[in-house]
Structure 1
Amino acid sequence: MSRLDAHHHVRRPASAPPSATGPGPRRRVHEWLDAPGMAPLRRDFTLADLAPVALAGGIDPTVPVQVLPDIHETAEFLMPATAGDVVAGVVSWADLASNDLAGTLHALRAAPGGDHLVCLGHLVQGEPDWGRLNRPTVRRGLRTVAQAGLTYDVLVVPHQLLAVVTAVRELPELTFVLDHLSKPPIARGELQPWASLIRELAALTNLFCKLSGMVTEAEWHRWSVAALRPYADVLLDAFGPERVMLGSDWPVCPLAASYEEVVDVAEALPAELTAAERSHVFAVTAERAYGLGERDGRGRAGDGGPVGLDR
């Protein structure tokens, strides 16, 4: 069975030592790497670094996800996608509040690697105004994303989910992807109110979710499949395997588990799924949500409508 990693990163942090990997995106500051315990991540991580660990985990191809909200990073982030067949599509960033977002997207698609642009995203979790998705200027930008035939990735924490519910409900023309299950409090073993909000979101068919980022939300050195299972069960029961996709969150995941362990956990958690349902979690859902394999030179092929269960 083909297996696809729908969420990983590549980066060249400014705090890293000089790279021996050759030319690539310029170094930029990742402030979150200054937090305690982040030292192992203060170095370069490239597609060349990912290739052997992904191969060992039986993964091919992948979807890299941009982290920094920097349009210059976006252009540089897309370029490596042109090398080989490793990258199926790219989740990048652009300013949703820009008055010329459509022009920006056109320029990105015309640039090297632009045909791999399938989705935009933003780390809403770090925003002081966690209701930013519902600002009028951002709403206008999200409609532009939909008109461009792109998907939108959103990373929030549980207390921000109500804002996501509103945005997803009021923008049925746009396909959304929720990252990392919205980071439930796995380390504390709490399910509510996260589980209820997830079920409310799952009722909206223009939203998909990533089975990703779980091991780093658990206790890094004491996690177990049993501790993760209740959260995976809620997700799969609410969304169904047709709307859930695997993501490794590499290179963050090795803080708690190796790449292979993350893939093994994803195999173990949906124990009751049929082979066809597993194929959705491990490949088909991501292909569908991001329109992978449907690019027509303009990025994700589409008619401006959402990729919902009714299509």
Structure 2
Amino acid sequence: MIIDTHLHLVYRDRLTYPWLADVPPLNADFPQALYAQEARRLGISASLHMEVDVTEVDIARETMVIKELASASGSLLVGAIASCRPELPGFPAYLEGVRANPFVRGFRRVLHVVPDDLSEGALFRENLARLAGSGLTFDLCVKPHQIQRAIALVDLVPDVSFVLDHCGVPDIAGGGYDLWKGPVAEIARRSNVTVKLSGIPAYGAENWTLEDLKPYFAHVANCFGFERMVWGSDWPVCTLGGGLSTWLGATHALLSGVSLPEKAGVLSDNARRLWNITPRA
């Protein structure tokens, strides 16, 4: 069983995605049916939808659309990580609404597309602290130079589970290993952080190979261990680096020397525990 913890679905007729205009290969519709056909062939049995940085007025609507898609017969969707804006005064009311919706398992605020000091604001931190006791996770989508700021958030709310997206967004194509390894090792010292094995093919060169990914995988495995690692496709962004089948094939190759219980943890068991996921029949 494989649980995909990082699926993006794009429906441009129903939601607005301002950033897609800057990424022409992704400026298209990526519906559930297109993903599910390939995912089932690969053994993916459940998926968490990851918010797609829709325009602010569409944040609540995105969750509604995804929940509606999850109700379709044969859907792999079992929950959603919703977008949020902790920097805004309206966050407490939004949080209360989300807490009443068990379909939502956590939040993400993409931080590498906003000023570095956004997460240092008093209101942002006050609102983030409201997650304590909610059972909701918070995904950290940051670049290596921002990981120290992410650590400050993790330390602020030690009883909230944080997830470091895309192995900390290393610049694989640019040879950014040395700038990335230290911050990743430091955030891994926090026991309430899980690393997400996702996204890295898109950060490699166009002709990346497994050998390019191995040092990055080895480092996060050494720092986090396999008990604090989950897998995500980052579909359709992964199509920039070869596609879903290519990435899952590379994942199996990276995990080839890992014990069966540890591999099961990365591919399904850890996610099931972290988000209380029950795969659909």
Question: Normalization by structure 2: what TM-score?
Answer: 0.91
Rounded Cα–Cα distance in structure 2 between residues aligned with 1:79 and 1:103: 22
Query: Paired residue for 1:150, among 136, 142, 150?
Result: 136
In structure 1, the partner of 2:165 is: 179
Q: Please state whether the residue corresponding to 1:286 is helix, strand or coil.
A: helix
C-alpha spacing 1:71/1:49, structure 2 compared with 1 (3 Å): same
The equivalences for 1:247-258 within 5 A come to 247-258=232-243
* Aligned-partner Cα distance in 2 for 1:109–1:48: 29
Distance 2:241 2:87 in 1: 36
How far apart are 1:100 and its partner, in Å?
4.7
1-structure distance, mates of 2:49, 2:11: 14
Could you give the per-residue CA deviations for residues 258-293 of structure 1, whole angstroms, max 9, x where no partner exists? 211111111111332100000111011212222324
Choose the corresponding residue for 1:135, options 121, 145, 148: 121
Q: Deviations over 1:221-255 (max 9, x none)?
A: x1000000000000111000111111111011112
2:110 is matched by which residue type in structure 1?
A: L
Counterpart mapping for 1:78-117 below 5 A:
78-84=67-73, 86-110=76-100, 114-117=101-104
Q: Secondary structure at the match of 2:135?
A: coil
Q: Which runs of 5+ in 1 are unaligned?
A: 15-25, 295-311
Q: 1:204 aligns with which of 190, 195, 209?
A: 190
Letter in 2 for 1:139: R
Match of 1:9 in 2: 8
Contact 1:123 1:154 in 2 (8 A): yes
Checking the alignment, whether the CA contact within 8 Å between 1:232 and 1:270 is kept in structure 2 is no
How far the C-alpha of 1:55 sits from its partner, in A, is 0.9
Establish whether residue 118 from structure 1 lines up as the match of residue 117 from structure 2. no
Q: 1:50 aligns with which of 32, 35, 38?
A: 35
Separation in structure 1 between the aligned mates of residue 277 and residue 130 of structure 2, nearest angstrom: 20
Deviation of 1:45 after TM superposition, in Å, equals 1.1
> What code does the residue aligned with 1:71 have?
A
Which segment is superposed worse, 78-87 or 280-289? 78-87
| Alignment match of 1:189 (pick from 175, 184, 202) | 175
Pairing 1:245–2:230 present: yes
**Percent identity of equivalent pairs:** 28
What's the CA shift for 1:170?
Answer: 2.4
| Counterpart position of 2:60 | 71
Shift of 1:151: 0.5
**For the Cα contact (< 8 Å) 2:129–2:156, is it kept in 1?**
no
Distance 1:247 1:103 in 2: 30
Question: What letter corresponds to residue 115 of structure 1 in structure 2?
Answer: P
Please tell me the root mean square deviation across aligned C-alpha atoms, in Å: 1.9
Structure 2 unaligned regions, length at least 5: none
Moved more, 131-140 or 54-63: 131-140
* C-alpha displacement of 1:131: 3.1
Residue 63 of structure 2 contacts residue 80 of structure 2 at CA under 8 Å; is this kept in 1? no
Taking structure 1 as reference, are residues 39 and 9 closer, same or farther at Cα in structure 2, changes over 3 Å only?
same
Deviation string for 1:73-122 (max 9, x for gaps)? 33333332333451122101122234453432333455xxx321000101
- Counterpart position of 1:22: none
Would you say the 8 A contact 1:74–1:94 is kept in 2? no
CA contact (8 A) 1:5 1:62 kept: yes
Counterpart residue type for residue 192 of structure 1: D
Higher helix share: 2
Q: Would the aligned equivalents of 1:189 and 1:227 in 2 still touch at CA under 8 Å? A: no
Corresponding residue for residue 275 of structure 2: 290
SS at match of 2:6: strand
TM-score (normalised: structure 1): 0.82
Q: Name which of 265, 279, 292 aligns with 2:264.
A: 279
